[in-house]
């Protein structure tokens, strides 16, 4: 029988640690981090198209730290309304922006200022005015009910200590028939209470 352990640590502390870690990734993507980053990793290990990535600014692709390729799950239709939970430097959003075209809309949400700065600069450089980025906690999305065709996320939902709220928000904002395409980390073993409440393990 699965055991449910209560998360007892300071959740704001966790969010601050996440902001600090991924702020460093944004500013120093070649720094000393234990997780993979960058366009070569995305193309060689996650199945992204290297030519597509080469067409994006280096400052957008360098801090990419996703764990999969949510855009490969299913094609995005022209004109679709897409959101990205935890968009980082905006790589997936800009790729989505090319797929949905100028009549579509893509909104990336992130809580790390340095990542948002890269993402917004990327949208400006590539001329994608239909792609925008907003600062937000993914457990409380500043977007209307049933206003989204596709929600994507890449290695971010696992960082939230409020996963039921995140999925409730996704249910709220997705239109009837909309879909969620995400890649994330799954742990099959039952974690101990000590591990579950270790902030450093959450940040990764």
Give the model confidence (pLDDT) of 151-202 as tens digits. Answer: 999 999 988 989 999 999 999 999 999 999 999 988 777 766 665 666 565 5
Give the pLDDT confidence score for residue 2 in this predicted structure.
43
Instruction: Answer whether residue 1 is part of any domain.
Output: no
From CA 137, how far away is CA 158, in angstroms rounded? 13
Would you say how long the chain is, in residues? 204
Report the interhelical angle of 91-100 vs 113-126 (nearest 10°): 30
Positive/negative CA dihedral, 92, 96, 98, 102 = negative
The secondary structure of residue 71, as a DSSP letter, is G
Structural domain count, the chain: 1
Task: Specify the CATH number for the domain of residue 167.
Answer: 3.40.50.150
The answer for residues whose C-beta is within 8 angstroms of residue 99's C-beta and 6 or more apart is: 71, 75, 76, 78, 80
| Residue at token pair 């902001």 | 19
- In a domain, residue 6? The reply is no
Rounded Cα distance between 89 and 112, Å, is 9
CB atoms within 10 A of CB 66: 24
Per-residue confidence (pLDDT) for residue 11, from 0 to 100:
79
Confirm whether 76 is domain-assigned.
yes
Largest CA distance in the chain: 53
Backbone angles phi, psi at 33, to 5 degrees: -125, 150
160 in any annotated domain: yes
3: in domain:
no
Residue 4 in any domain: the answer is no
**Enclosing domain of residue 187:** 11-203
What does the pLDDT read at residue 8?
Answer: 63
Q: Report residues of the chain scoring pLDDT below 50.
A: 1-5
How high is the pLDDT of residue 21? 92
């Amino acid at each position: 029988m699965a055991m449910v352990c209560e998360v007892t640590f300071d959740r704001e502390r966790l969010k601050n640690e996440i902001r600090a870690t991924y702020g460093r990734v944004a500013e120093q993507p070649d720094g000393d981090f234990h997780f993979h980053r960058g366009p070569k990793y995305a193309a060689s290990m996650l199945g992204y198209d290297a030519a597509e990535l080469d067409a994006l600014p280096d400052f957008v692709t360098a801090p990419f730290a996703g764990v999969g390729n949510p855009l490969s799950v299913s094609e995005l239709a022209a004109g679709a309304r897409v959101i990205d939970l935890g968009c980082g430097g905006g790589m997936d959003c800009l790729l989505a922006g090319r797929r949905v075209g100028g009549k579509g809309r893509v909104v990336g949400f992130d809580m790390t200022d340095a990542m948002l700065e890269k993402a917004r600069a990327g949208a400006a450089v590539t001329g994608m005015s239909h792609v925008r980025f907003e600062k937000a906690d993914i457990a409380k999305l500043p977007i209307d009910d049933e206003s989204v065709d596709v929600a994507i996320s890449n290695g971010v939902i696992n960082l939230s200590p409020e996963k039921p709220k995140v999925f409730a928000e996704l249910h709220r904002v997705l239109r009837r028939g909309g879909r969620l395409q995400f890649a994330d980390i799954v742990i099959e073993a039952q974690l101990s209470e000590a591990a579950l409440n270790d902030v450093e393990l959450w940040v990764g």
